[in-house]
Amino acid sequence: PAKYFDTKTTEPISFFLSGLEELLAWQPNSNDEFNVSAVPLAKRQPPLQSRRPRTLVCHDMRGGYLEDRFIQGSATRNPYVFYHWRYIDIFVYFSHHTVTIPPVVWTNAAHRNGVPVLGTFITEWTDGEKLCEAFLAAGEEAYGAVAEQLARIAQHFRFDGWLVNIENKLSAAAVGNLPLFLRDLTARVHSAVPGGLVIWYDSILKDGTLRWQNELNDENRMFFDACDGLFTNYNWKEEQLERTQRLAGPRQNDVYVGIDVFARGDVIGGGFDTDKSLRLIRQFGLSAAIFAPGWVYEHLGKENFLQNENRFWGLLAEYLPTHSICTLPLTTSFSLGMGTSTFLDGKDEESGPWYDLSAQDIQPLYPELQGRLSTSCCLQDAWCGGSSLQLQGTIPPGEERVAVRLFSLQMPAPPKLFLTLLYKLEGPQPDDFTVALEVTTWDSGTCLEGNPTSLPEPNGRYYPRFLPAPPPGLARLLAACRRGSHGWTSRCYELELQDCSLRDLSVIVSRQQPSLEETSFTCLLGEVRVLDTASVAASPPQVLGVTASQLWWQ
């Protein structure tokens, strides 16, 4: 059927539902199995419910379901990708279809990086009025059936909830039942999806009028009270933020103040001035909803997209609390889920563009130090996948080294860690530098390196011990220790810790010789792995009862 399979190629595609009838008739079937997310939501710290301002990204691009609809990827040149996952809390996939089921490639990429994904339930214009009349005004059985279907759809496709956006006026009967519908939907989503969310868009007033408030107030509060959060419209002023903060009270982090990156209407700042809006929102301790950050791609063009994207998020970074990884193993080749070639073990195996967000790796922080360091994605060379992480910077006169923080970590350190690193130094004199990993721990009087005679490090910095060869028994798994090729250097390390909590994983680029000159370097990172030795040595669980369905023989 054309809904599930591309008519030209027969490949499986992601889809949406149109209208009330299609929503109520939806049942899981074997054709939609490709669209079920295969990646569970990774744990991260701090968790979503922590008391700190959050950041929601609402992705709205040219009607949605573009090249991202191809579940098994496509040969798209210069596609849109998002990879600043460490800086955000929630990802919403938005389109103007009644029921927007997020394309599974987005759910997979977001979940791998610990970010929950919401679909959109929208009604608008006169058709929307009729639809709302049919399910809201008709009473408990009718709106209960819609809530039940939306919860079942999120559970079946394994995404995390809904943004509800009613953009049409409502009759008295319909608006009377709206808070009840939101409560019902929220309860059903919470019970069907662990950590599930329902967020309401600021549009309707308690009397059923469609009028955007750009704030939380007594006209729209009953909808906020009935669900997990409010996403406000974009044309707010400072005094509205103040009133919102006052009224939200202890729930101020559940108000996501809208920022339209396209800066339509009377707004404080969009585009490369989005930081002006974000700064004000954070002054009042409120969460933010960044709408259509694809502006970078749509408005500035595909050609320098990755450069412009790093600039856009770099300008916002000081207002975006970041997230830590809290489980091992941590392993990444930094792939963006796209490329101009496909690399394997440092070799360009297949030239030609590809795009598959399901293949995106765990993404690092992208630290920028003005004039000193920039972190970016390099598509020209990679160890595995489509890209590597490029570190470009300078070591100032008289200093020995630069530390680049890749990941913040928050977990108890296992007694013994193995770490592996693959890198390539570029530029005229690559032999002038050494590259190594650094692990920092949270300061604690009891934290020691494994050797009982060593004293605790005053700043909790540890340089894992370099292993020239992998320990016996792990040789096959850690072939990484000597598998550098095509100009890539491979390093393997071991670190024993007692009673420590992991804090940061950084790469250190050092000069071989002290110098009074400023020295520039370019280093590509191809892969980083942090493994708990005990679980690496254990044998993997047996897989039983494998079945294959939807086979297509060529």
Average pLDDT, rounded, for the chain: 92
The residues near 87 (Cβ < 8 Å, ≥ 6 apart) are: 55, 313, 316, 317, 320, 322, 323
Kindly state whether residue 375 falls inside one of the protein's structural domains.
yes
Q: Give the CATH number, domain containing residue 397.
A: 2.60.120.260
Last residue of a domain, one of 298, 321, 344: 321
Closest CA to 162 of 123, 207, 204: 123
Clarify whether residues 300 and 345 are in a common domain: no
Clarify whether residues 313 and 338 are in a common domain: no
**Side-chain half-sphere exposure of 90, counting CA atoms within 13 A:** 32
Query: pLDDT exceeding 90 applies to what percent of the chain?
Result: 79
pTM for the predicted model, two decimal places: 0.95
Task: Identify the pLDDT of residue 445.
Answer: 63
Kindly state whether residue 552 falls inside one of the protein's structural domains.
no
Task: Identify the pLDDT of residue 292.
Answer: 97
Kindly state whether residue 525 falls inside one of the protein's structural domains.
yes
Kindly state whether residue 376 falls inside one of the protein's structural domains.
yes
Kindly state whether residue 184 falls inside one of the protein's structural domains.
yes
How many domains are there within the chain? 2
Structure tokens at 39: 């990646």
Question: 482-498: b or e for each residue (b if 16 or more CB lie within 10 Å)?
Answer: ebbeeebebbbbbbbbe
Kindly state whether residue 39 falls inside one of the protein's structural domains.
no
d(CA 292, CA 110) in angstroms, rounded, equals 17
Q: Where does the pLDDT of residue 463 fall: very low under 50, low under 70, confident under 90, or very high at 90 and above?
A: confident
pLDDT of 302 > 60? The answer is: yes
Last residue of a domain, one of 286, 321, 356: 321
d(CA 226, CA 198) in angstroms, rounded, equals 9
Kindly state whether residue 41 falls inside one of the protein's structural domains.
no
Clarify whether residues 311 and 334 are in a common domain: no
Any idea which residue has 């897989």 for tokens? 543
Q: What does each C-alpha distance from 139 to 142, 251, 405 come to in angstroms?
A: 6, 29, 55
* pLDDT average, residue stretch 376-383: 96
Clarify whether residues 391 and 427 are in a common domain: yes
Last residue of a domain, one of 321, 345, 365: 321
| 482 in Cβ contact with 467 (< 8 Å) | no
Closest CA to 258 of 52, 102, 58: 58
Clarify whether residues 350 and 435 are in a common domain: yes
* pLDDT average, residue stretch 262-291: 96
Q: Which residues pair with 385 in a beta bridge?
A: 343
Clarify whether residues 380 and 472 are in a common domain: yes
Q: What does each C-alpha distance from 534 to 84, 442, 537 come to in angstroms?
A: 31, 22, 5
Task: Identify the pLDDT of residue 483.
Answer: 64
* pLDDT average, residue stretch 408-426: 92
Name the burial class of residue 59, with classes exposed (0-12), middle (13-18) and buried (19+) by CB atoms within 10 angstroms of its CB: buried
Name the burial class of residue 246, with classes exposed (0-12), middle (13-18) and buried (19+) by CB atoms within 10 angstroms of its CB: exposed
Task: Identify the pLDDT of residue 459.
Answer: 57
Kindly state whether residue 488 falls inside one of the protein's structural domains.
yes
pLDDT tens for 135-160 read 999 999 999 999 999 999 999 999 99
Clarify whether residues 281 and 394 are in a common domain: no
pLDDT of 372 > 50? The answer is: yes
Parent domain of 337: 330-537
Clarify whether residues 245 and 295 are in a common domain: yes
Task: Identify the pLDDT of residue 452.
Answer: 46
Any idea which residue has 């390196």 for tokens? 449
Q: Where does the pLDDT of residue 472 fall: very low under 50, low under 70, confident under 90, or very high at 90 and above?
A: low
d(CA 253, CA 52) in angstroms, rounded, equals 6
Closest CA to 433 of 529, 528, 523, 370: 523
Clarify whether residues 128 and 239 are in a common domain: yes
Clarify whether residues 453 and 489 are in a common domain: yes
Clarify whether residues 480 and 436 are in a common domain: yes
DSSP E strands in 202-291: the ranges are 229-231, 255-260, 287-291
Clarify whether residues 268 and 377 are in a common domain: no
Q: Give the CATH number, domain containing residue 308.
A: 3.20.20.80
Closest CA to 142 of 170, 102, 184: 184
Task: Identify the pLDDT of residue 468.
Answer: 66
User: Could you tell me the end-to-end alpha-carbon distance of the chain, in angstroms, rounded to an integer?
Assistant: 20
